[in-house]
Amino acid sequence: MATKTVEFTVGRTPEMGLDSRPAPGPLAPVDLPEPEMGSENMLINIGPQHPATHGVLRLVCELDGETVLRVIPHIGYLHSGFEKQGEYRTWNQVVPLTDRMDYLAPLIYNCAYVMSVEELMGIDVTERCKVVRVIIMELDRIFGHLLWIGTTAMDMGAVTPFLYTFQEREKIYSLHESLTGARITTSATRVGGMMADLPEGWPEACRKFVTELHRTLDQVEYLLTTNAIHLGRTQGIGVISAEDAVNYGFTGPNLRASGVPYDVRKDKPYYDYETYDFEVPIGEHGDCYDRYLVRMEEMRQSIRIVEQALDRLPGGPINVPDPAISLPSKTDCMNDMESMIHHFKLITEGIHAPAGDSWFSVEASKGELGMYVVSDGGSKPVRWRVRPPSFVNLSVIPKLAEGHLVSDLIMINASLDIVLGEIDR
């Protein structure tokens, strides 16, 4: 009869440490007889409707007992044909499609799209616009990571961090709302600027939020970073080496957790990111725990960036003063014939981008978000392509989950921080 070694990680009497935290008990390996059972494998569907898949993701798993032998992800349940729809819309009309992709950090997508179009058209946005976009992008990075921390902790059975982080997310929702009028579907950017300038009191509210966020992050870290269950569920789970991570196209916190210091903000700086003082946290083991640590630290770095950006927020116009790109003010439209004509042309025809193509990538909360736009000189894109970071990150899951338990598969899936709206587009 075969035997297998079972290791109990929690002792019979878990001793309480000095700071009233439970200390892991001694390991007591026990040799148990393993009964002979049939060896047929099992095919199990996880999803598409399952809370732990974080969306309509379906994972078909081949299991041997509880060990995952093979994972075959099925995606496309949320396929909306955004890229196809974009070809039928003017350049500015595409913006609302972008925030429906990653509804967990919509402003980053808004910004990334218009930045690629501006790159194609050779538009330099105003200084104020640059700083405002940096603020809202960093704010949404925090927004995305907070959701990730909350839901991932919930997958482990820890409900409290979820409540803490969603309390903070609610404040970002309010900031979204006062800036754009919407909480999730922000559609805040326009080619050459923003839909509207920051409302009165917004910078102060934003600063208040980021200052107070530290406290919540401390609370969450206190609950999770040295939590024995969290450590047991994440350390050594879903490990990927640096070389493999690059080969598989990992980006963002997932890649940096493997020790590759690739951050678009540092390596291909846009919007003067090189002048902001911030660090790029990297992990060394490439497991779920390092991905958690990297994201926690990234939020703190984002707070630093937001604070610096708020300090340097310049005055002046937020839209480029080019009548062929930016809408004139309503007052001008009503008083000035020329502005009226520009307004009419912009609304009926839209802006025209020169023929050519442009690729622009930003560091989104999930990884490198690339926007590729192709124009034939008309007012609509010939092709609008999104390089979805979650799509590429998810493609690694068969490799990561192989040989782990089903419960680890849930952890690995959570640690990748996917959003299905963007994977399926």
Partner 1 sequence: MADETRSGLDAVEAGPAGSEDGLAPDAASGLPVPEHPTVSALRARFGDAVLRHEVGARDQHVVFIEPSRNVEVLGWLKEDPAQDYAFLSDVTAVDYGGGRPLQVVYQLFSLTHHRTLRVKCELPVTALEVDSLAPLWKTADWLEREVYDLFGIRFRGHPDLRRILMPENYAEGHPLRKDFPLRGRFSRAEQTRRALAQEVENFYIPLEMDLGREPQLPAARESGSDPADQA
CA angle in degrees (0–180, nearest 5) for 366-372-373: 140
Q: Are 365 and 417 in contact (CB under 8 A)?
A: yes
Name the DSSP letter for residue 98: H
- Which is closer to partner 1, CB of 174 or CB of 247? 247
Tokens 């870290």 locate to 221
* Alpha-carbon separation of residue 124 from 117, 191, 238 (angstroms): 11, 10, 42
Neighbours of 41 (CB within 10 A): 14
Distance CA 83, CA 79 (A): 10
Q: From the list 96, 119, 259, 333, which residue makes contact with partner 1 (rule: CB under 8 A)?
A: 119
Q: Where are the beta strands (DSSP E) in 281-344?
A: none
Q: From the list 60, 182, 333, 405, which residue makes contact with partner 1 (rule: CB under 8 A)?
A: 60
Query: Is residue 314 involved in binding partner 1 (CB under 8 A)?
Result: no
Q: From the list 120, 149, 175, 210, which residue makes contact with partner 1 (rule: CB under 8 A)?
A: 120
Query: Is residue 236 involved in binding partner 1 (CB under 8 A)?
Result: no
- Which is closer to partner 1, CB of 120 or CB of 414? 120
* Alpha-carbon separation of residue 317 from 9, 128, 203, 236, 326 (angstroms): 61, 7, 16, 51, 11
Query: Is residue 385 involved in binding partner 1 (CB under 8 A)?
Result: yes
Tell me the per-residue interface mask from 70 to 89 with partner 1, x by CB under 8 A, - otherwise. x-x-xxx--x-x-xxx-xx-
Query: Is residue 405 involved in binding partner 1 (CB under 8 A)?
Result: no
Distance CA 323, CA 344 (A): 11
Query: Is residue 372 involved in binding partner 1 (CB under 8 A)?
Result: yes
DSSP string spanning 189-201? EETTEESSPPPTT
Query: Is residue 347 involved in binding partner 1 (CB under 8 A)?
Result: no
CB of 290 to partner 1, least distance (A): 19
Query: Is residue 41 involved in binding partner 1 (CB under 8 A)?
Result: yes
Site size toward partner 1, by CB under 8 A: 55
CB of 248 to partner 1, least distance (A): 4
Query: Is residue 262 involved in binding partner 1 (CB under 8 A)?
Result: yes
Query: Is residue 357 involved in binding partner 1 (CB under 8 A)?
Result: yes
CB of 370 to partner 1, least distance (A): 5
Nearest Cα neighbor of 256 from 222, 213, 286 is 286
- Which is closer to partner 1, CB of 83 or CB of 197? 83
CB of 80 to partner 1, least distance (A): 10
Cis ω on the peptide bond leading into residue 253 (within 30° of 0)? no
Neighbours of 324 (CB within 10 A): 12
Footprint of partner 1 (CB under 8 A): 38, 40-41, 43, 60, 62, 70, 72, 74-76, 79, 81, 83-85, 87-88, 119-120, 122, 244, 246-249, 260, 262, 267-268, 355-359, 361, 368, 370, 372, 374, 376-378, 380, 382-383, 385, 387, 391-392, 395-396, 399, 424-425
